[in-house]
Chains A and B, each alone.
Chain A
């Protein structure tokens, strides 16, 4: 343990020293970065794992977790030797109770909508003059996305923020020749800082962001993906909000949704799902004071807080959800910012499937990481099992329960012993209410944006959930075989701002 702490001090101290030196450096940033490439590379990959191994997904499970899991497994086996049926009934009861808790949580979200719960809304913000605005670093990690680059730069140009107060970093991988060439043409030196991340494992977006993190000049840092079209005033509003918020608020998460939702059935349900997550679920968690599993982009961080927690976890494939939990673990909070970034939803089934696999695998990593310590509050304890765990359980265990339930009802096999009173009634309530409430939430969520055309499609969301279950099993397999493998989501060139429907842009502000 002492060795680990020494390593932590060394690595982070060196990175901090590098940043302090960089801030006072007057020459070329890229040259300065090149001089310290080894430090930045190892820091991007290993700083967190060395500083706080218990908060890193580098290891799937910690030793105490493995001991606990094995102990539970052995105890269940021993109990099964005495009463096999009793053990199955017990496990069934645990999942049924979990399902009921999920129902109650979803009902609380409905209640939140009705009572317009905004106790943690950011109030008393005042417009800041251009001079008073802070410098913001914009990280744009791209990989084989040369087609998207022009539209991304267009979206950044449209931001209502003084250009001299933006430190835009286009973060590219060393082996991505095509995008590097495109960036060399499109990104004028001085206006954009093109950061080349050296080759090495793990090859993930958080690692690329970590590499660029330590050369950030901004007081705040935001990530935009290649297909992002943020609301024009997003950064200005974030700066104004941060000006009145306490320093413990480390992150503001903008709402995300899709501008191409009318492309197909898949994109429509995807948009309804995102509306549920970013317009109902996350605001609901905010009102409870619970940590937020953040979205992948458009989250604006206080740089100091981000550096203090060691940046993103390069081994976690949903570094966004993880960092929200990790901020909470270190005593910081996150809030929602009422502004939207429109993105391009994956339209093809294959691309969606790969993306969803990565997300669920990342949630598995996050669940494993954040169950290694005691939660800071009841609300903190709520997020992990019900929000992050909910996705995993819904993907992996729902199919089992559906099959069991259908078999039980059909009477093909006598399963009455598995549902003794009152488990049968509770299972019925949990099974029906849990799914139906979620379905209704998928109907209500798009209405907030006046996307009423999506409401009838929400009725078909159970088919979408079946797809998610398939992705869940693939994710479980990858969690065992290749936990750190990042499946890149393919996107097209995306739409330019001018091509996005006016009503969608209106809905984003």
Chain B
């Protein structure tokens, strides 16, 4: 990018700024999806409740895990451990944002903004600071996935999905919408023929983690923990929905290839159809909308200048259509 191009951009045209907005939107969506619980309990009461609800298990909440780890240190109470683990999220959010961004001006400012933003602080104080980190890492990885070399992008994104699953409570609900829209982020030459390989490599780490979690629970006689892999089996997910999800994933790339239909309207239709199919599995519309926005961002970034307007329009459009569908 030339200096001239850089100077012509307004603050909101910076990809990092857009990413920042998307992370906040995603975190907001997450907060809204559990609004009642979030307002009923604050700080460690909320965490203790979460713990009693879920049982202590890997893959549910890193805040709890770190809290427990710190509490095991001599002289540290459980409440203090949880407090420290929660507060740890703030500098880590800043550091993650700083380190994972390309070397561009303003990344320090952006990191500070991200750390001190009221919504971030609210999430951190609510015990979900690690969720922000998880979502941020996921966004960074997916945003660059189409532009990186396949094995590099896939390795980063695969780990990011697994990490988000660890860090974000309830991330399992995101997985299906994420899967349904993720073909949009596929490297260009993979879109034509290799969707199976794309999905296998991308979801392998989270599947391994979930499988290991379920296996460890069985092997050591721990309490059963629901995982993304086991959820469809235990909840009796209708086969028809699975079929519709698969069909969407498979047909999506086809839609993208039709040049005469590659306008925004078609992409919007494809994306909404994907998200709709995924949302029918029980995931939250707002979560799906946030994922759609992220996917659109990645798509726009690959094709040229990402536009904040198009990202927001995608998110808004998806939310409206999905919301109507859910009604």
A450 near B212 (CB under 8 angstroms)? no
B41 near A: Cβ within 8 Å?
Answer: no
How distant is the Cα of A453 from the Cα of B195 in the complex, in angstroms? 10
A440 near B189 (CB under 8 angstroms)? no
B201 near A: Cβ within 8 Å?
Answer: yes
User: Separation in Å of the B187 CB from the closest CB of chain A?
Assistant: 9
| Other-chain contact of A456, B159, B193, B197 (Cβ < 8 Å) | B197
B150 near A447 (CB under 8 angstroms)? yes
A67 near B: Cβ within 8 Å?
Answer: no
B103 near A: Cβ within 8 Å?
Answer: no
B219 near A428 (CB under 8 angstroms)? yes
B154 near A: Cβ within 8 Å?
Answer: yes
B98 near A: Cβ within 8 Å?
Answer: no
B54 near A: Cβ within 8 Å?
Answer: no
| Partner-contacting stretch, out of A109-117, A242-250, A293-301, A342-350 | A109-117
User: Separation in Å of the B95 CB from the closest CB of chain A?
Assistant: 16
How distant is the Cα of A323 from the Cα of B275 in the complex, in angstroms? 56
B198 near A: Cβ within 8 Å?
Answer: yes
A436 near B208 (CB under 8 angstroms)? yes
| Other-chain contact of B149, A432, A436, A448 (Cβ < 8 Å) | A448
User: Separation in Å of the B66 CB from the closest CB of chain A?
Assistant: 18
Chain B residues within an 8 Å CB radius of A113: 151-152, 155
Given contacts A436-B208, A452-B150, contact A443 B200 (CB under 8 A): yes
B150 near A448 (CB under 8 angstroms)? yes
A409 near B: Cβ within 8 Å?
Answer: yes
Q: How large is the interface on A (under 10, 10 to 19, 20 to 34, 35 or more residues)?
A: 20 to 34
- The A-contacting residues of B in range 142-160, CB under 8 angstroms, are 149-152, 154-156, 158-159
A452 near B159 (CB under 8 angstroms)? no
B122 near A: Cβ within 8 Å?
Answer: no
A110 near B159 (CB under 8 angstroms)? yes
How distant is the Cα of A443 from the Cα of B156 in the complex, in angstroms? 13
Residue of A nearest to B205 (CB): A440
A459 near B: Cβ within 8 Å?
Answer: yes
How distant is the Cα of A384 from the Cα of B189 in the complex, in angstroms? 39
How distant is the Cα of A454 from the Cα of B151 in the complex, in angstroms? 13
B196 near A456 (CB under 8 angstroms)? yes
| Other-chain contact of B155, A114, A424, A428 (Cβ < 8 Å) | A114
Chain A residues within an 8 Å CB radius of B200: 443, 455-456, 459
B48 near A: Cβ within 8 Å?
Answer: no
Chain B residues within an 8 Å CB radius of A443: 197, 200-201, 204
B215 near A: Cβ within 8 Å?
Answer: yes
B194 near A453 (CB under 8 angstroms)? yes
How distant is the Cα of A116 from the Cα of B150 in the complex, in angstroms? 12
A445 near B: Cβ within 8 Å?
Answer: yes
Residue of A nearest to B189 (CB): A450
How distant is the Cα of A448 from the Cα of B149 in the complex, in angstroms? 7
Chain A residues within an 8 Å CB radius of B220: 424-425, 428
- The A-contacting residues of B in range 187-219, CB under 8 angstroms, are 189-190, 193-194, 196-198, 200-201, 204-205, 208, 212, 215-216, 219
A444 near B: Cβ within 8 Å?
Answer: yes
Chain A residues within an 8 Å CB radius of B154: 444, 447
- The B-contacting residues of A in range 459-486, CB under 8 angstroms, are 459
Chain B residues within an 8 Å CB radius of A455: 194, 196-197, 200-201
Chain A residues within an 8 Å CB radius of B219: 409, 428
B158 near A440 (CB under 8 angstroms)? yes
How distant is the Cα of A459 from the Cα of B199 in the complex, in angstroms? 13
How distant is the Cα of A456 from the Cα of B201 in the complex, in angstroms? 9
Chain B residues within an 8 Å CB radius of A425: 220
Contact with B along A206-247 (1 / 0, CB 8 A): 000000000000000000000000000000000000000000
| Other-chain contact of B151, A424, A428, A447 (Cβ < 8 Å) | A447
How distant is the Cα of A425 from the Cα of B150 in the complex, in angstroms? 34
Residue of B nearest to A445 (CB): B151
B201 near A432 (CB under 8 angstroms)? no
B152 near A116 (CB under 8 angstroms)? yes
Residue of B nearest to A435 (CB): B208
Given contacts A113-B155, A455-B197, contact A440 B208 (CB under 8 A): yes
How distant is the Cα of A448 from the Cα of B151 in the complex, in angstroms? 5
Chain B residues within an 8 Å CB radius of A439: 204
Contact with B along A100-140 (1 / 0, CB 8 A): 00000000001001101000000000000000000000000
Most buried by B among A279, A409, A436: A436
How distant is the Cα of A116 from the Cα of B200 in the complex, in angstroms? 22
A interface with B by C-beta (< 8 Å)? 110, 113-114, 116, 279, 409, 424-425, 428, 432-433, 436, 439-440, 443-445, 447-448, 450, 452-456, 459
Selected A-B contacts with CB under 8 Å, 24 pairs: A110-B159, A114-B152, A114-B156, A114-B159, A409-B219, A425-B220, A428-B216, A428-B219, A440-B158, A440-B201, A440-B204, A440-B208, A443-B201, A444-B154, A444-B201, A445-B151, A447-B154, A448-B151, A452-B190, A452-B198, A454-B197, A455-B196, A456-B197, A459-B200
B interface with A by C-beta (< 8 Å)? 149-152, 154-156, 158-159, 189-190, 193-194, 196-198, 200-201, 204-205, 208, 212, 215-216, 219-220
Q: A448-B149, A455-B197 are in contact. List 17 more A-B contacts (CB 8 A).
A: A113-B151, A113-B152, A114-B155, A114-B156, A116-B152, A409-B219, A439-B204, A440-B205, A443-B200, A444-B151, A445-B151, A448-B151, A452-B190, A454-B197, A455-B194, A456-B197, A459-B200
The 3 nearest A-B residue pairs measured at CB: A455-B197, A452-B194, A447-B151
